Amino acid sequence: MHWVDKMKAELETAIEACKKGGAVLEKFFNHPKTEFIDKGLGNIVSQADLESEKIILNILKKRFPDYAFYSEEAKFSKNQSDKLWVIDPLDGTSNFSIGIPHFGISIALLKSNQISLGAIYQPTMNLLGYAERGKKPVFNRPAPTPKEEKPNKQTISIVAGYASTELQSQVTAGLSGQVKRILTQWAPSLDYLLLSMGKIDSIISLKSESEDQIAGLLIAQEAGNIIRTVNGKDFELKNFSELLPILIVSRNEKTFEEIRELVKEYL
């Protein structure tokens, strides 16, 4: 298979897997017999996670049997490869468990530790966003052109790992009254779609899990957003890790500096 055809097949496969996993989630959503298990620190898993993961992995392994994968529930595959699928089969399980229709699926492909493509799907709204490295992201509905905001008018999202709740509280307190709105929506992948579509201004990621952000990081970057550590250095994924460092993802230099100035004493 020619490398261009293979790249096209990889993206089409990721999109198909997102949509078929999404169909599974819709089947279980708000079903009275769907069971949930608390794994600790508020980390919940359900039959929906597992069934979505199963169908996604079946599709990916059938099309690309030599590729490795990391998925939230299954963890690392036994085989090793410089091509790694990173999957969150249900991002927003806490929302899902209490009947809030704000959840999605995130699939990314890493090649030699570089993010090659990312796809995110929100099934209840049929919202799809995806990108390949070096190409502008595509959304299945129009994305508005971001407007410049005045200082202290940013809408931001805070994404926190399960072990970062104290840090999240400090950052939230520091931002309170300084920005237009602070979102904590329990579904990071969808926050990256909102940022990439120009609907919010910045994301602060506090040592959070990789699988629900890697696809979003690529989509946000290719949409023109900047991704930096709190010391102002551009972030580039060099080695896959289950947790990301503290990051600020923002529309431009101005919005990045505004947020960094407000939170740097806590980070």
Overall size of the chain counted in residues: 267
pTM summary value: 0.93
Provide the pLDDT for residue 161.
Answer: 82
Q: Which residue has the higher pLDDT, 41 or 109?
A: 109
Provide the pLDDT for residue 153.
Answer: 84
Provide the pLDDT for residue 253.
Answer: 94
Contact 140, 147 (CB under 8 A): no
Provide the pLDDT for residue 152.
Answer: 60
Per-domain boundaries in the chain: 3-139, 155-263
Each residue's pLDDT tens digit, 29-39: 987 667 766 66
- pLDDT band at 204; cut points 50, 70, 90: very high
- pLDDT band at 64; cut points 50, 70, 90: very high
Pick the CATH number of 3-139 from 3.90.550.10, 3.30.540.10, 3.40.50.720, 3.30.70.270: 3.30.540.10
Question: Within 10 A of 74 (CB to CB), how many other CB atoms are there?
Answer: 15
Each residue's pLDDT tens digit, 119-132: 999 999 999 999 99
Burial class of 230 by CB neighbour count within 10 A (0 to 12, 13 to 18, 19+):
middle
Percent of residues, the chain, with pLDDT higher than 70: 90
Each residue's pLDDT tens digit, 65-103: 999 999 988 999 999 999 999 999 999 988 998 899 999
- pLDDT band at 237; cut points 50, 70, 90: confident
Provide the pLDDT for residue 165.
Answer: 85
Q: Which CATH architecture has domain 155-263?
A: 3-Layer(aba) Sandwich (3.40)
Each residue's pLDDT tens digit, 120-170: 999 999 999 999 999 999 999 876 665 555 556 899 999 998 778 889 999
Burial string for 161-186 (b: 16+ CB within 10 Å, else e) reads beebeebbebbbeebeebbeebeebb
Helix pair angle (3-28, 47-63), 10° resolution: 160
